Amino acid sequence: MGVFKATFVVGFFTLVSRLGGFVRDALMLSIIGVGPIMDAFIVAFKFPNFFRRISAEGAFSSAFVPIYSGLQAKEGKTIAFEFAKQAFAIMGIILLIFVACFEIFTPQLMRVFAPGLLETQERFQMAVDFTRITFPYILFISLASLMGGVLNSLGKFAAWSAAPILLNVIMIASMLLLAPWVGGHGVALAWGVFISGVAQFVLLWISLYRNRHVMIIVKPQLTENIKILFRKMVPGIIGAGVFQINVFVDMWIGSFLAVGGLTYIHVADRLNQLPLSVIGIAISTAFLPTLSGLFQTGKQQEATQELRRAISYAMLMTVPAATALFLLSLPITKVLFQRGAFTMADSIATAHTIEAFVIGLPAYVLAKVLSTGFFARQDTTTPVIVGIICVVVNFCLNLLFMKPLAHVGIALATTISSWVNVTLLILMLKRSKISLLDKMMRMTLVKILICCIAMAAVLQLIYAKIKTHIVDCFGVVPWILLTILIAIGMVVYFSSAHLVRLISFTELLAILRRRKS
């Protein structure tokens, strides 16, 4: 599967998953509302998600895929899959022990990572109970990610990209169907997370089986390749997961906010994560096997050009998305979430948080893509240095901004630290003689900014005319008007991009025709 098609497949399924996540969150906020139950569940949901995004989407996959791809290219699929089975067995044992310890010490860990919850004993106890149900999710999703890495290396991207859709479907079903039987909507959501982990594991196992790779438990052995894998993983936990570590720092600080503050951050982050997941993760997932092959065969010039291409794709889509989210934060929040127990005051608070987050959206995506340049060379040590610096910066800024700006300050601190992250990653790549900002790249970025300014001007002009019909009205009219507004913004942006020769509709149509034929 080509990189263009792979990016499209990953991006499509990720988009479907994220849209399902919006439906899930809208139902949660409508039924539960902003309050202690929602805050407690958000904390319980963040624990397994934090480790998922580091292991399943970060350190583990970033270390595993290059090694597996290298073995597959040099020694064949059989040897590579034997390595995968060994990794599966050892990871399974480690994760079982890790989950068991976490279950035993959940109250103590909650006091460390979310100490502010202790101010309300009921909220603290709910967070502990919910976390004990959700946390085993990390066992199943991490093993599923290993199988997803094998499938990606085989050029099969659909199953691993589609798996998160099950999370949203099962959580929605659990909230609607299990709540009367398990003691409330919060408990039902927690069980939905656990069940979805099992379901995703089964889906990936079946997908591997259908591709003639049967993942079985073997006697674990610390082979040389396994040792290399874990050596690469340990620093990668910080390097690949710097943004997620910052999210955890945000949760630690956010636990001291008034009730509802964690919910505003969660909802804003959900909107912010949409382009990050669809664009950043899709591009890094699709380009990692290609970059790994180029670097391992000594083709650094071609690999650098491929990395520039990945950055161009990312910025082409991310900068306009950030611009539109910033300008339309309130109408988007209102249309998506304001119903039931979620009020206009909640929409306004969330919108301000979104504005602070999306200023850093290009940085979040760039960091994901730039990290791929290190992982493809099996260099997971360098991002550790950058990661530690950014965590310290984020923590200090959180302390500085939390009191005057509350939840908005936490989002702003994350944004600033993310731009520091990107700047340092670019400088470190340059030291490795991988120069990304050549004349063509700078020209591309200037063209993207020009197109975004044109789009922003049109959006602002039209929104000023129809604002009251979106913000002050309910029903289908705000949905229609917002959809039309976003569509107009897309038309203006891509038309401008065509005029400045940033993209070519003719070339795009030719590519699509070739795909069909």
DSSP-assigned states of every residue in 274-291 = HHIIIIIIHHHHHHHHHH
463 & 430 share domain:
no
Per DSSP, the three-state class of 381 is coil
104 & 193 share domain:
yes
pLDDT tens string 476-511: 888 899 999 999 999 999 899 888 887 765 655 554
Q: How far apart are CA 60 and CA 340, in angstroms?
A: 40
422 & 487 share domain:
no
300 & 325 share domain:
yes
212 & 229 share domain:
yes
Model pTM score:
0.71
Q: How far apart are CA 358 and CA 62, in angstroms?
A: 25
264 & 333 share domain:
yes
123 & 204 share domain:
yes
The whole-number pLDDT of residue 281 equals 63
Q: How far apart are CA 245 and CA 393, in angstroms?
A: 12
The whole-number pLDDT of residue 514 equals 44
432 & 464 share domain:
no
The whole-number pLDDT of residue 473 equals 74
Q: How many domains does the chain have?
A: 2
Angle between helices 185-210 and 36-55 (to 10 degrees): 20
| Residue of 199, 208, 250, 171 whose CA lies nearest to 68 | 208
Which stretches in the chain have pLDDT values below 70?
1-11, 53-59, 61-62, 235-247, 277-278, 280-300, 303, 372, 375-378, 380, 504-517
The whole-number pLDDT of residue 236 equals 61
422 & 463 share domain:
no
261 & 171 share domain:
yes
Give 225: exposed, middle or buried? Use CB within 10 Å, 0-12, 13-18, 19+. Answer: middle
Give 285: exposed, middle or buried? Use CB within 10 Å, 0-12, 13-18, 19+. Answer: buried
What kind and span of H or E run contains 137?
Answer: helix 137-153
Print the domain residue range for 452.
Answer: 438-517
